[in-house]
């Protein structure tokens, strides 16, 4: 992960936001290559989800919506995470990420230890318990620790659990609900009547505009409304680079189905679609898994939620959530606005509120997943054929920030440079490409490998003196072959879509 974060900074993929002022926790900027990569992820999703399907339309709704939207959706009352404060250090923790355990010696509780969630929380708590027993010189048999998070702490335990910041008990507060929506004021007044929110998800835009789309979009059930846009959550503990941030981008789609439709079948079809789509942009199947939320943890209206999980270097984590939400959202907005959100069924001559399947994914989480999966350190021969370490991003050509680098073999030979520039100009009309004439050819290849450019073409003397072909060098296999211009364009047409 450290190598990846360093590469992301060094090669201009991701920067800390406001870095010259010390950064702002939970906010990130995307540099020149990062902006290209992110745009490609978005474009692939939009093309596959919206343009290449007949049953889905795209919209773009505003980030700040009427505050009543968030009351009806349940976000004002319930979009919360459990928060624990340390009164001494002023640190704040998400209660479900702060773990504790009783230190039990010879069957008696002699104290408590705590640890922040990590890949080895139980191991850390066990080590802390052993150290506690040693420091307090307690004699007897230590029981294996049983880790719980702070949402499970009994009221009388809270005062005994040490704060991770100070190591001392007595300063942690009981968990309380912390609403994650960013508040703002619309207009010149700064009172409650002007209070609004930055949207914490894009989905509500699709529900609130449902009738507008039905009345204007010539859509018929089943159909979907898709949107890509920024969302904002005041996460208590943003972490793991861009995995959990406070400003991020979502790609969400609401797929509306008949109230009598087989929702489970449709849900499964969307799980399969999302999984295949991730594979189509280069994520390895071996890193993907599914997690079905247990029934007892679902919201009362939810019929089922399955997350597509990705094996990040810091653990297996949610990448894409696919939820069957019944007709809860449209029903809520109908009740709160007084405007029916129904569709007329020609077959039964009845009106009904459609049900919905919602695949919701974060662009930044996909961005991080593709970088993690693509990052490889291997070996490549240098100019003299000696093997040296090479860093390579094995990005799919679909999403790679640059598709081709055009390299004249020598920069002081006008004919080579002229032909290279001509090809570069032609490619540039359709693709993000790069022209590089500086340095030894091997070093130029290596620079492209590190940023994931799938192909380099080298213009050499054969190109200008013989048949016009040039060398195509492939990033992953490092193999080279001669091709002509038409073949290069055909290759790009096939691989970059």
Binding region for ligand ATP (CB under 6 A):
201, 233, 235, 244-245, 248, 250, 318-321, 360-362, 364-365
Residues 102 and 74: their CA atoms lie apart, in Å, by 36
Q: How far is the CB of 369 from ligand ATP (least distance, A)?
A: 10
Instruction: Tell me whether residue 79 or residue 424 sits nearer to ligand ATP (CB atom).
Output: 79
- Residue 286: CB atoms within 10 A of its CB come to 8
CB 314 within 8 A of CB 119: yes
Both structure tokens of 247: 């400003």
Letter string b/e over residues 155-165, b meaning 16 or more CB atoms within 10 A of that residue's CB? eebbebbbbbb
SS (H, E, C) 389-400: EEEEECCCCCCC
* Burial class of residue 206, CB neighbours in 10 A (0-12, 13-18, 19+): buried
CB of 120 to ligand ATP, least distance (A): 20
- H or E element: which one contains 291? strand 288-292
Nearer to ligand ATP, 315 or 340 (CB): 315
Closest separation between CB of residue 322 and ligand ATP, Å? 9
Q: How far is the CB of 321 from ligand ATP (least distance, A)?
A: 4
Nearer to ligand ATP, 45 or 424 (CB): 45
> Chain centroid to CA 97: how far?
20
The closest of 86, 74, 126 to 104, measured between CA atoms, is: 126
**How near is the Cβ of 60 to ligand ATP at its closest, in Å?**
17
Q: Is 11 or 244 the residue whose CB approaches ligand ATP more closely?
A: 244
As measured in angstroms, the least distance from the Cβ of 39 to ligand ATP is 17
Toward ligand ATP, which CB reaches closer, 121 or 250? 250
| Closest separation in Å from C-beta 363 to ligand ATP | 8
**Rg (the chain; Cα; Å):** 27
Residues in the chain: 497
Rounded Cα gap, residues 384 and 404, in angstroms: 25
How does DSSP classify residue 408? E
Query: Half-sphere exposure of 474 toward its Cβ, with a 13 Å CA cutoff?
Result: 13
User: For residues 274 and 407, which CB has a smaller minimum distance to ligand ATP in the complex?
Assistant: 274
Shortest Å distance, C-beta 194 to ligand ATP: 26
Residue with Cβ nearer ligand ATP (248 or 445): 248
Among residues 115 and 306, whose Cβ is nearest to ligand ATP? 306
């Amino acid at each position: 992960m450290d190598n990846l974060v360093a590469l992301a900074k060094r090669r201009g993929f991701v920067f800390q936001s406001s870095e010259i002022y010390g950064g702002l926790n939970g906010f990130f900027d995307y540099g020149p290559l990062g902006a290209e990569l992110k745009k490609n992820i978005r474009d692939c999703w939009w093309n596959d989800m919206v343009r290449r399907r007949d049953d889905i339309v795209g919209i773009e709704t505003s980030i700040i919506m009427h505050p009543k939207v968030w009351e009806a959706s349940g976000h004002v009352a319930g979009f919360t995470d459990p928060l624990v404060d340390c009164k001494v250090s002023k640190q704040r923790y998400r209660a479900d990420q702060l773990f504790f355990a009783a230190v039990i010696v010879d069957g008696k509780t002699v104290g408590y230890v705590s640890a922040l969630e990590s890949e080895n929380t139980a191991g850390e708590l066990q080590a802390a318990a052993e150290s506690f027993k040693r420091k307090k010189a307690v004699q007897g048999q230590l029981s294996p620790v049983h880790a719980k998070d702070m949402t499970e702490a009994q009221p009388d335990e809270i005062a005994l659990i040490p704060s991770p910041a100070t190591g001392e008990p007595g300063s942690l507060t009981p968990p309380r609900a912390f609403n994650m929506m960013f508040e703002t004021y619309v207009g010149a007044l700064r009172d409650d009547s002007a209070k609004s929110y930055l949207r914490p998800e894009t989905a509500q835009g699709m529900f609130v505009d449902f009738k507008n789309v039905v009345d204007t979009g010539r859509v018929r059930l089943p159909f979907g409304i898709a949107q890509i846009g920024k969302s904002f959550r005041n996460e208590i503990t943003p972490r793991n680079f861009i995995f959990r941030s406070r400003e991020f981008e979502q790609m969400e789609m609401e797929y509306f189905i008949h109230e009598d439709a087989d929702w489970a079948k449709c849900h499964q079809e969307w799980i399969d679609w999302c999984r295949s789509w991730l594979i189509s942009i280069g994520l390895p199947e071996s890193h993907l898994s599914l997690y079905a939320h247990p029934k007892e943890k679902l919201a009362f209206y939810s019929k089922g939620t399955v997350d597509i999980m990705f094996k990040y270097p810091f653990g297996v984590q949610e990448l894409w959530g696919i939820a069957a939400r019944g007709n809860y959202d449209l029903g809520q907005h109908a009740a709160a606005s007084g405007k029916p959100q129904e569709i007329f069924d020609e077959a039964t001559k009845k009106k009904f509120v459609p049900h919905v399947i919602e695949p919701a994914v974060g662009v930044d989480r996909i961005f991080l997943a593709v970088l993690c999966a693509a990052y490889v350190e291997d070996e490549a021969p240098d100019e003299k054929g000696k093997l040296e370490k090479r860093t390579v991003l094995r990005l799919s050509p679909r999403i790679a920030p640059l598709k081709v680098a055009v390299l004249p073999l020598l920069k002081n030979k006008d004919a080579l440079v002229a032909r290279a520039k001509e090809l570069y100009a032609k490619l540039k009309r359709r693709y993000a490409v790069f022209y590089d004439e500086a340095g030894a050819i091997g070093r130029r290849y290596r620079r492209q490998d590190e940023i994931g450019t799938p192909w380099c073409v080298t213009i050499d003397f054969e190109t200008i003196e013989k048949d016009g072909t040039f060398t195509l060098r492939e990033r992953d296999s490092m193999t080279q072959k001669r091709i002509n211009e038409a073949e290069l364009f055909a290759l790009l047409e096939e691989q970059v879509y």
